[in-house]
Amino acid sequence: MTPQSSLDPVNPFARKSDLPYGLPPFTRIREEHFLPAFRAGMAAQAAEVAAVVADQRAVSPATVLDPLESSGALLGRVSRVFFNLSAASMTEGLRQIEDEVNPLLTAHRDAITMDAGLFAKISALYADRDAIEDEETRRLLERHHDEMVRSGAALPAADQARLREINAELAQLAATFRENLRADANDLAVHVEDGARLEGLPNDEIAAAKAAAQSRGVRGYLLTLRLPTVQPALTALKDRQVRRGLYLASVTRGRRGNVYDTRPTLTRQAALRAERARLLGFDSHADYAVADQTAKQVDSVMQLLTGLVGPAVENTRRDQAELTARLHADGFEGELQPWDWAYYAEQVAQERFARDSAWLRPYFELDSVLRNGIFAAAEGLYGLHFVRRDDLAGYEEEVDVYEVFSDSGAGLGLVLTDWYTRDAKRGGAWMSSFADQSRLLGQAPVIVINLNLSHPPTGAPTLLTLDEVRTAFHEFGHVLHGLLSDVRYPALSGTEVPRDCVEFPSQVNEMWAWQPELLRRYAVHHETGKPLPESALDSVISAQSYGQGFATVEMLGACLLDQAWHQLRADQPPITPEQVEEFEWQVLARHGLDLPAVAPRYGSTYFEHIFGGGYSAGYYSYLWSEVLDADTEEWFLRQGGLNRRSGQKFRDELLSRGGGVDPMAAVEKVLGRPPRLEPLLERRGLLPVE
């Protein structure tokens, strides 16, 4: 009897869904199905791994790697649905399940990665790895071996026991961080009684603020908070006091000394990560985290980051002088404040580039951006076709399901689109999956893309800002990485590449948003059907390079905070919750980034990527990937822009290969030479002014 048989067969997770591509049967899934499926799934995988260990046959990829990669099917089904829902549609019930299941999952994973019998088999195979000819198989073996070593498989039992405790506590702390941040952000939504004080904000955002207030039973308007420090509404709000209030609400998240304060959580996380790194033989968590990345060394990361500070700050100071003059011209005295920057920068951008979002937005209607922009680019480059399947249900009414076909008419997989913000949804934008492509498992990809767009008023179209357009193209780049995956092993599928390369394909996909030939197709007025005027087209494109000094400083602040928290050593006294603010200022000052008017993109207390998600010591990845991205963008343009030939090359060498190849080698194959830094400097306006 297998443990899996203990799961009630009416539980929708009990077997693979018979919907197309194994789409989860969302309409049949109830909260009470999760815990039994999790328990049965962990038991089943434990039994499957035990069978691999007990197997008497000689070690080979077929007797070790294949069964290992095939294990945990039930656990995979339930986990993917559960964690996608907990990110996008959280409920009190799911929250309780998450609290209960997280420690179990951590212990379960630890038991596998620290299994002595399994490690012996992997090590035996690893010792003879040069005999394996297939590159993907060899890389999978190296990945499993490194992962087990990095998880403590080679440590003495006492250290392993401590490691398990640390991992369990860290899993709990990350969940606490996310939960407290979400609660504090909801609590800090800015209440504005008088609609006149929202002057400057586009009508649909005013309507969204009104709807947000109504949904919480308060009068007037409620400005809800987005994840980054600088809230999008700061570009538009004319009333300086409202701007100030919104900004202060944003930066106060998680540091008000209330029950949602995230400082005790994050300082404990930093200390535990340092301790874990020391157990595993690393100087710091950053050293540990970077070792299996393409950067390999903390020094390489710091070299990239600190090398950008000088040019970025210089560029920012030039902009600051100009923006301060505008503040004074508006009758205010004194310094430009952080809540002023986005507002006056937007004015400059509007004048210089005719970037008036109020009249631009009707040209960026979601459906056209999607079909004539994002989908059209994927068709032009990779020959993909997207067909909406109204017969297939997503996990929310407003989630759409698309079937994707290749040129030949073969079905490739599914894409679920979840565009809108909900109180129960976490902030930001992301791609995730309900199933990963794998030839071994005969599985096609089922991918989901999430944004946090405001709901338009009933019956009105969804109009995007340029930033939202960029984000949609970006996340769709991750979608394509998952969708075009063509590998044997699920552990190497699609976005399963070193983290510091994972942003590369998504950043490359952003470039298509601003290609004139595509803009002419998708930027069409939703009422008149007229394309964006040619003059505006040029401005939209050149506006993309304005404000890069600010954006780089903001980004570097976040990267360096992340590095500082994770370069702490276990033998140093830990940072206390009371010292968080001082620690942040010291880090920024040390690197010359203590500019009063420009805060880091995320403050520590609401830095969800590193304390609530998987980017600890890895936020630099965005800039690291961008080096590759800027160079590749140049390559695409030299190849004549949007065409099937260059798309096919990029797909064959890179997108389809997932973690099955060395990413740097794959980039070199596309470019025909190693990547260079100059295209990034040029794009970000950081080359010296001549």
Q: Give whichever of 470 and 520 is closer to Zn ion, judged by the CB atom.
A: 470
Tokens of 432: 């995730």
Q: Give whichever of 110 and 503 is closer to Zn ion, judged by the CB atom.
A: 503
Angle between helices 116-127 and 34-54 (to 10 degrees): 50
Q: Give whichever of 4 and 493 is closer to Zn ion, judged by the CB atom.
A: 493
Q: Give whichever of 451 and 519 is closer to Zn ion, judged by the CB atom.
A: 451
Supply the minimum distance, in Å, between the C-beta of residue 486 and Zn ion: 21
User: Is 571 strand, coil or helix?
Assistant: coil
Q: What gap in Å lies between CA 27 and CA 281, rounded to an integer?
A: 48
Q: What gap in Å lies between CA 557 and CA 602, rounded to an integer?
A: 8
Q: Which residue has the tokens 């539980």?
A: 11
Supply the minimum distance, in Å, between the C-beta of residue 622 and Zn ion: 8
Question: Residue 482, Cα to own-chain centre: how many angstroms?
Answer: 14
Q: What gap in Å lies between CA 293 and CA 618, rounded to an integer?
A: 9
Given the residues 475, 554, 608, 633, select the one marked as catalytic.
Answer: 475
Supply the minimum distance, in Å, between the C-beta of residue 430 and Zn ion: 7
Supply the minimum distance, in Å, between the C-beta of residue 133 and Zn ion: 34
Supply the minimum distance, in Å, between the C-beta of residue 510 and Zn ion: 10
Q: What are the two backbone dihedrals, phi and then psi, of residue 406, each rounded to the nearest 5 degrees?
A: -90, 175
Q: Are strands 430-435 and 385-388 parallel, antiparallel or unpaired?
A: unpaired
Binding residues for Zn ion, how many (CB under 5 A)?
Answer: 2
Q: Where are the alpha helices (DSSP H) in 114-156?
A: 116-127, 135-150
The verdict on 450 binding Zn ion (CB under 5 A) reads no
Q: Give whichever of 165 and 467 is closer to Zn ion, judged by the CB atom.
A: 467
Restricted to residues 325-364, the positions that interact with Zn ion (CB under 5 A) are none
Q: Give whichever of 45 and 506 is closer to Zn ion, judged by the CB atom.
A: 506
Supply the minimum distance, in Å, between the C-beta of residue 157 and Zn ion: 39
Supply the minimum distance, in Å, between the C-beta of residue 474 and Zn ion: 6
Q: Give whichever of 474 and 684 is closer to Zn ion, judged by the CB atom.
A: 474
Restricted to residues 176-235, the positions that interact with Zn ion (CB under 5 A) are none
Supply the minimum distance, in Å, between the C-beta of residue 619 and Zn ion: 12
Q: Give whichever of 343 and 419 is closer to Zn ion, judged by the CB atom.
A: 419
Supply the minimum distance, in Å, between the C-beta of residue 506 and Zn ion: 4
Give the residue among 497, 371, 496, 476 at the shortest CA–CA distance from 431: 476
Q: Give whichever of 274 and 374 is closer to Zn ion, judged by the CB atom.
A: 374
Please enumerate in sequence order all residues whose Cβ is within 8 A of that of 385, keeping only pairs 6 or more positions apart, or say none: 379, 404, 405, 406
Q: What gap in Å lies between CA 210 and CA 408, rounded to an integer?
A: 48
Specify whether 100 is catalytic. no
DSSP string, 226-250: PSSSS-GGGGT---HHHHHHHHHHH
CB 395 within 8 A of CB 387: no
Q: Give whichever of 86 and 506 is closer to Zn ion, judged by the CB atom.
A: 506
Q: Give whichever of 294 and 506 is closer to Zn ion, judged by the CB atom.
A: 506
Q: Give whichever of 402 and 615 is closer to Zn ion, judged by the CB atom.
A: 615
CB 445 within 8 A of CB 484: no
CB 290 within 8 A of CB 301: yes
Please count the other Cβ atoms lying within 10 Å of the Cβ belonging to residue 128. Answer: 11
Tokens of 53: 């260990």
Supply the minimum distance, in Å, between the C-beta of residue 482 and Zn ion: 12
Tokens of 188: 């800090």
Q: Which residue has the tokens 């880090």?
A: 587
CB 635 within 8 A of CB 119: no
Q: Are strands 400-405 and 385-388 parallel, antiparallel or unpaired?
A: antiparallel
List Cα–Cα distances, 318 to 159, 301, 315, 343, in angstroms.
53, 27, 5, 16
Q: Which residue has the tokens 């997989």?
A: 413
CB 482 within 8 A of CB 495: yes
Burial 633-669 (b: 16+ CB within 10 A, else e): bbbbeeeebbeeebbeebbebbbbbbbbbbbeebbee
Q: What are the two backbone dihedrals, phi and then psi, of residue 632, each rounded to the nearest 5 degrees?
A: -65, -35
Instruction: Give the per-residue SS3 of 423-467.
Output: CCCCCCCEEEEEECCECCCCECCEEEEEEEECCCCCCCCCECCHH
Supply the minimum distance, in Å, between the C-beta of residue 431 and Zn ion: 7
Angle between helices 73-88 and 34-54 (to 10 degrees): 140
User: Minimal CB distance to Zn ion: which residue?
Assistant: 506
Supply the minimum distance, in Å, between the C-beta of residue 423 and Zn ion: 24
Q: What gap in Å lies between CA 489 and CA 485, rounded to an integer?
A: 11
Restricted to residues 491-550, the positions that interact with Zn ion (CB under 5 A) are 503, 506
Tokens of 624: 């690291």
Q: Which residue has the tokens 């596998």?
A: 112
Interacting residues toward Zn ion by CB under 5 A: 503, 506
What residues are labeled active site? 475
